[in-house]
Structure 1
Amino acid sequence: MTGQPDERPETELPRLPATGPLYRRAAIGLTPGLGAARRADRLPDVELVVRGVTVDRDHLAGYDRVCGFRLADVLPPTYPHVLAFPLALRLMTAPEFPFPLVGLVHVANRITTHRPIDAAESLDLSVRTLDLRPHPRGRQFDVLCTASVGAEVVWRGVSTYLRRERVAAERARRDRADDPTPPAPTAVWRVGAGTGRDYARVSGDHNPIHTSRLAARLFGFPRPIAHGMWSKARCLAALANRLPDAYVVDVDFTLPLPLPGTVAFTATPAWDFGLYDVRRGRPYLVGEVTPVPE
């Protein structure tokens, strides 16, 4: 993952966009003859900005409940991602964006928390895309989200998405005996069938592969799958009492987590963590927390 700042034109919006019309635009883009022609060789050269974003305490409380965080005046580390999501959606549904939104796979996420963010603070949010690059199964790119208080950057998130365009010449054969044995479970969690709908409600991420069995099947999943950012948030909620004030947390979303399901959560003193299939031991998510030097 990348995420280094660069100079590009800035477009300031008066408010965060509503996500409903953006998803309708994404659906139109999938309809033959209705979507705009796309240039698949470049990402939009623009940064979207909204200033003075405030936190709705009721929404924050709902998010905390869905993801397992305790109610507090400090924002969960994943919450700015939710605040900035409408901007990212606006960027990825624009006519000049090279790929249809539906079908993109969120494969990794990095969050840098520079300091605790009080829920009463007003945030300036910015989003841009960068680093379109080849991948064995297509192409991938990053979406960089930044939250600032005045001139101070307090949070940064980098989401890596994969656009699948081809199947590897020879699909890797997984031998379960070769899979590394996961660490002993710290906890076992039951993830309910409604988790996708609950998280969609508090995050604004209404991708139907998380909420609809029919849509999930259309994309090759027998059941709806959990949002990757819900999985990351749930793990960080379990680690909340042990996290420093400033840190980087990286995760790779390695396998889809079907809903409903039962998962093993593991965490080590070195701050490695993961979610695993309780029967086969295969990882759904693997992550690492690294303190930021003072």
Structure 2
Amino acid sequence: MTSPPPLLPLMLRGAAYSPFKRPGTTNTPPPAATSRIDGLQVRADHLTAYERVCAYPTGSPELPVTYPHILGFPLAMRLMSTRTFPLPLLGLVHTSIEITQQQDVSPTGTYELTVDIPELRPHRRGTEAVVVTALRPTGDTAEKPVWESTSTYLARHKTDTREQDQREQQEQPATPLPEIAEWRLADDLGRRYGAASGDRNPIHLHPLTARAFGFPRAIAHGMWTVARCLAKFGARGPVHVQARFRAPVLLPGTVTYAARGPAFELRSAKDGDRVHLTGEVTELPR
């Protein structure tokens, strides 16, 4: 492809296939395919809209560290919405992301973007799909991409509950990090981020559509929470980022950003014990 495919048809296709898939009842591997865009160039208006909704500085000579994920998300959806992908797209939950950026990435460059799903793996609450996104300058034959992410998406189904209970009992709550900032999130945040990113999942757009999927109100996009935290952190390449999504952020709402050293987290301002997101940022040598 020469540009990202539209997301809505892919979401509809994935939703149509979802009722016919039964995760946990088969060992079917993920499709051995790669989605690829050649000659990708960043649209300045798209980038600016994304920077503004995530509070990144506009006009920077390098891309925000989370922006290539937005470019690659339609390619991931293209793979996960197929009939041969064994997990149902409906109900699939983004549980973590790991990003490695080897150098500054220019917004004026021309790139090759690839996405593939190398494996499915068991999780204590179901099955996870591992999705790898890689960005390379066009014509670059280096083994390592300049930017790469590994995301995990969880399809929940019944597992060995005894093993699950044992693991959850071993997990000890961490000491809260020092509070840095408090953010009040408007009820239209999901719609504004959806317009900037293209991810118009119904659970993020309106209370009525969110209730159809079991949420009392619309929830913030997980990748918005990561981007907003990294913008505040000031993360810039070369860098390695790890983040785990812990609990959804209901909209409207108020959250607390906290950080110390390489670690950051996002907590509920009303209930400080409720952690929405945890992560770490490690600077890499230039």
Settle same-fold status: TM greater than 0.5: yes
Q: What's the secondary structure of 1:16's corresponding residue?
A: coil
Equivalent residue number for residue 204 of structure 2: 210
Equivalent residue number for residue 49 of structure 2: 62
Q: What's the secondary structure of 1:186's corresponding residue?
A: strand
CA distance in 2, matches of 1:203, 1:162: 21
Q: Which runs of 5+ in 1 are unaligned?
A: 1-12
2:256 pairs, out of 245, 251, 264, with: 264
**Cα separation, partners in 2 of 1:205 and 1:73, compared to 1, 3 Å:** same
Q: What's the secondary structure of 1:69's corresponding residue?
A: coil
Q: What's the secondary structure of 2:266's corresponding residue?
A: strand
CA distance in 2, matches of 1:96, 1:14: 24
1:131 and 2:119 equivalent? yes
What are the residue-to-residue correspondences of 1:121-160 with 2, within 5 Å?
A: 121-149=109-137, 150-151=139-140, 152=142, 153-160=145-152
Q: CA deviation at 1:62?
A: 0.4
Q: Which runs of 5+ in 2 are unaligned?
A: none
1:274 and 2:269 equivalent? no
CA distance in 2, matches of 1:73, 1:100: 39
Percent of pairs with identical residues: 40
* TM-score normalised over the length of structure 2: 0.88
What are the residue-to-residue correspondences of 1:183-198 with 2, within 5 Å?
A: 183-198=177-192
CA distance in 1, matches of 2:192, 2:236: 29
CA distance in 2, matches of 1:192, 1:244: 27
Q: What's the secondary structure of 2:220's corresponding residue?
A: coil
What are the residue-to-residue correspondences of 1:1-294 with 2, within 5 Å?
A: 13-30=1-18, 41-71=28-58, 72-149=60-137, 150-151=139-140, 152=142, 153-166=145-158, 169=161, 179-240=173-234, 243-268=235-260, 270-281=261-272, 282-294=274-286
CA distance in 1, matches of 2:216, 2:7: 27
For the Cα contact (< 8 Å) 2:243–2:280, is it kept in 1? yes
Q: What's the secondary structure of 2:217's corresponding residue?
A: coil
Q: CA deviation at 1:212?
A: 3.0
Over aligned residue pairs, what C-alpha RMSD do you find? 2.4
* TM-score normalised over the length of structure 1: 0.86
**Cα separation, partners in 2 of 1:14 and 1:60, compared to 1, 3 Å:** closer
Q: CA deviation at 1:179?
A: 4.2
Aligned length: 274
For the Cα contact (< 8 Å) 1:110–1:250, is it kept in 2? yes
CA distance in 2, matches of 1:284, 1:251: 11
**Cα separation, partners in 2 of 1:200 and 1:40, compared to 1, 3 Å:** farther
CA distance in 2, matches of 1:159, 1:137: 17
Equivalent residue number for residue 6 of structure 1: none
For the Cα contact (< 8 Å) 1:69–1:76, is it kept in 2? yes
